[in-house]
Structure 1
């Protein structure tokens, strides 16, 4: 990998965008490096949580590298950053936002399940200012996540919002001082890791797939057919949890 770093600690994979001198903007090669890194995480049964972050203290990712646009030959299989069109990943993804998250960088954040932001972070979709349109899912995800009027306000004015405003409107789960970002992200990972990985995946997938159903009764009827939910129904973890509770001991998760 030339433009990203991938590290693993226990069951957590951390992928770091590593172009700090240019605010971690994404060039064509990075899309394919990110695709490969997330593919590896998705297929590794020992890895349960992925953290996406940026190198340095200025930016998570300031979007696409406009200087390399002439070299652009198209996105990898799962779209922008190998993530934007990855709709079948049931494992949780956390964005640890260490600075600016603009354009495609903000679209990556919106595609994550949990967002922890440094108090120096900010978010926006400034594409119209350079005659572009945010086609990496940002327009759709932002409206779904914060409501139509708030989203239109940000999109049509290209306005950048602070981490605190992001928290108030629901983009961000927690805002912390920049120096506490890594420790706070680790705390979230630890909290998730206490639960059965099978249950976590079933829970995420049921929420995300259920949002595509026409109504609540339809979602509840359909959930038994979702792959991760079906895997949980037949898992040993489903039996181990209640058994450990009765025996007053910590559960030993078998995993997928």
Structure 2
């Protein structure tokens, strides 16, 4: 499939999605949103693809959020699945997604990062939810996800002031996993390679259980996890038999993803 505003590349079991509107600091309008939604639909439905990275073209911006110059009106439809950037309201994606933050991540761009499972940032990356400064609010998950990740007081600081956060502060807040001085995409691919050493069935079961159980008491969550679709699929998979077999035979497991 060809795209006008994004690029999609596949290397083995890794899909890399690049927002390609550098002249607009990779801000997103409806057409770009639709393309991102399709790209992540394809990733979700392709059994050969196990991990995804999302990044931005150029060295200045990951994503500057909603393109207010192209589309000044914000509607509730922006929150409909799959949500901003094709990810923010996609709550059924059990495959891991990594954000490679190569520059500015503002508004919806920051909310894309919040919706990813892991994030690597370049040292020049900057994060903010500046919506209140333009009479709006962080409606693509920022209001909900940020307090859960950093705590109420720290989240309110960012949500109510719209101030900018450096990559170093984002790391200290636990918003990114790693900060690098150069080649942020390369760092994200190294992280993806470590993840790809694991069974994709295990990855999906783990992610599904973690996200479902965030609001549950531990005792209830430990009982409920056995009924989750990805968990049941993992336990019945060839990979669940291959892992222990490879361990006992002292060899590298050959994952099949089924």
**Taking structure 2 as the reference length, what is the TM-score of the superposition?**
0.95
1:189 aligns to 2:214 (yes or no): no
Change in Cα spacing, 1:186 to 1:46, as seen in structure 2 (3 Å) is same
1:18-97 → structure 2 map (5 Å cutoff):
18-69=20-71, 74-75=77-78, 77-97=81-101
1:182 shift after superposition: 2.1
Q: Secondary structure at the match of 1:7?
A: strand
Residue in 1 that maps onto 2:246: 244
Residue in 1 that maps onto 2:142: 138
1:126 aligns to 2:130 (yes or no): yes
Q: Secondary structure at the match of 1:109?
A: helix
Measured in 2, the distance between the counterparts of 1:183 and 1:104 equals 24
Q: 1:35-94: per-residue Cα shift (whole Å, max 9, x none)?
A: 100000000000000100000011000111112226877446312222111111110000
1:253 shift after superposition: 1.2
**Taking structure 1 as the reference length, what is the TM-score of the superposition?**
0.96
1:139 shift after superposition: 1.0
Measured in 1, the distance between the counterparts of 2:37 and 2:132 equals 27
Indicate conservation of the 8 Å contact 2:37/2:86, yes or no. Answer: yes
Measured in 2, the distance between the counterparts of 1:219 and 1:239 equals 25
Measured in 1, the distance between the counterparts of 2:218 and 2:73 equals 46
How many pairs does the alignment contain?
254
Q: 1:146-167: per-residue Cα shift (whole Å, max 9, x none)?
A: 1100000111111110000000
Residue in 1 that maps onto 2:11: 9
1:250 shift after superposition: 1.1
Q: Deviating runs (4+, > 4 A) in structure 1?
A: 70-73
Indicate conservation of the 8 Å contact 2:55/2:185, yes or no. Answer: no
Q: Secondary structure at the match of 2:70?
A: helix
Measured in 2, the distance between the counterparts of 1:138 and 1:70 equals 19
Measured in 1, the distance between the counterparts of 2:60 and 2:34 equals 24
Residue in 1 that maps onto 2:110: 106
1:152-231 → structure 2 map (5 Å cutoff):
152-177=156-181, 179-213=182-216, 215-231=217-233
Measured in 1, the distance between the counterparts of 2:70 and 2:81 equals 20
Q: Secondary structure at the match of 1:66?
A: coil
